[in-house]
Amino acid sequence: MRTLPTDYLLIGAGGLVGAALRSALAGRSFTATAHERAVPGAVTIDVTDSAALRALIRAVRPRAIIVAAAAAWVERCEREPDATRAVNVTPVRIATEEAEALGATVVVFSSEYVFDGGLGRSYDESDLPAPLNEYGRQKVELERIAASREAHLICRTSGVFGPEGARKNFVLSLVDTLRTGRPYTVPSDQLITPTYAPALAESVLALLDRGASGTFHTSGPQVVNRFDFAREIADVFHLDAGLLQGRLTEELGLLTRRPLAAGLDASKLAGAVGPMPTARNGLLELLRREG
């Protein structure tokens, strides 16, 4: 593997968050990695290959290692805990160990699923994790590994949407379904904190630029009911909200328990680098980009 040193190493540039980070890093010195989905200019790596990951970090010698690669499908984590842990947890351990020698900052992504949703208000960074499922437990574990060094950022996020080649995020999958006139089932009893991916990426870089460390709720500024958000998507994209079918989460036949009310309070982020756009403004920006 022949790779030159750069300031940033972005691991997982082909995903929803990774692609937004790659765009935000334009103009800076960075190396990006891809996996199965091709990404122009990226180095291909499977993060479960620990030796290859170590070799890459040693070759790039970054100031910041941003880990956006993940097995982020909650149901798969429940079914395949070992295989998903190898993607979600072990690479963070490798990155953290290698960062120590380089004096680099490690950035990891976590989720509102570290919480059980039973607090009765939005969660801030001082609230204690209590995950209900394997995905949440893996997030708690990778947070603990990242936080073992001072130079780290734990970016907890939720309901991320934005431009995406795979068009699998909630907003684009809903838009694509409603455009074809088919009904779309939406849980009616879940709170989320919609987060516009390009704004998430800019916030992460702003935190790095300020030398911030610790845990941040890097999410949009509003906690909303997912069904209300679905109606807002239909409104912004001029689609038929009558095709939306609300269902209780327990009616969906899911394997995995989910926190129903784990909204994130992003006040700390707003104080540090300013708030992200509202859900509606993120949707309007996405509509503009979609053309």
Ligand X SMILES: NC(=O)c1ccc[n+]([C@@H]2O[C@H](COP(=O)([O-])OP(=O)(O)OC[C@H]3O[C@@H](n4cnc5c(N)ncnc54)[C@H](OP(=O)(O)O)[C@@H]3O)[C@@H](O)[C@H]2O)c1
For binding to ligand X (CB under 6 A), which residues are involved? 12, 14-18, 34-37, 46-48, 68-72, 87, 109, 111, 157-160
Nearer to ligand X, 96 or 157 (CB): 157
Query: What's the closest the beta carbon of residue 105 comes to ligand X, in angstroms?
Result: 17
Nearer to ligand X, 159 or 187 (CB): 159
Residue type, 55: A
Query: What's the closest the beta carbon of residue 242 comes to ligand X, in angstroms?
Result: 26
Return the structure tokens found at 132: 């209900």
Residue reference for tokens 């290698």 = 98
Query: What's the closest the beta carbon of residue 219 comes to ligand X, in angstroms?
Result: 8
Residue type, 23: S
Query: What's the closest the beta carbon of residue 84 comes to ligand X, in angstroms?
Result: 9
Nearer to ligand X, 184 or 259 (CB): 259
Nearer to ligand X, 103 or 167 (CB): 167
Alpha-carbon span 67 to 87, nearest angstrom: 11
Query: What's the closest the beta carbon of residue 154 comes to ligand X, in angstroms?
Result: 11
Nearer to ligand X, 103 or 170 (CB): 170
Nearer to ligand X, 160 or 207 (CB): 160
Give residue number: closest CB to ligand X: 15
Query: What's the closest the beta carbon of residue 15 comes to ligand X, in angstroms?
Result: 2
Query: CA–CA distance from 196 to each of 55, 96, 277, 280 (Å)?
Result: 33, 27, 7, 10
